Amino acid sequence: MQNKKTLTSTSGYNLVQTDVLAQSGDILRTSFEVEDPNEDAIGRFGSLLEAERFIKLLCHLN
């Protein structure tokens, strides 16, 4: 089971925290996804800092 929560939205890119849950509801793994304006995942990261840096990079390219 997964639990997704949008943390921020910057220049059309969403930063989403995704928690993979055990049947008991305990968090097994957390990852951070960057979604494009169409809400398609374009990057998955193990740390919040990496995901934030990726969004900054994307913003500089536009």
Burial letters 19-57, b for 16+ CB under 10 A, else e: eeeeeeeeeeeebbbbbeeeeeeebebeeeeebbebbee
Confidence (pTM): 0.86
Amino acid letter, 13: Y
Per-residue pLDDT of the chain (62 residues; tens, 9 = 90+): 899 999 999 999 999 999 999 999 999 999 999 999 999 999 999 999 999 999 999 998 86
| Terminal Cα-to-Cα distance of the chain (whole angstroms) | 35
| CB distance 47 to 7 below 8 Å | no
CA 21 to chain centre: 16
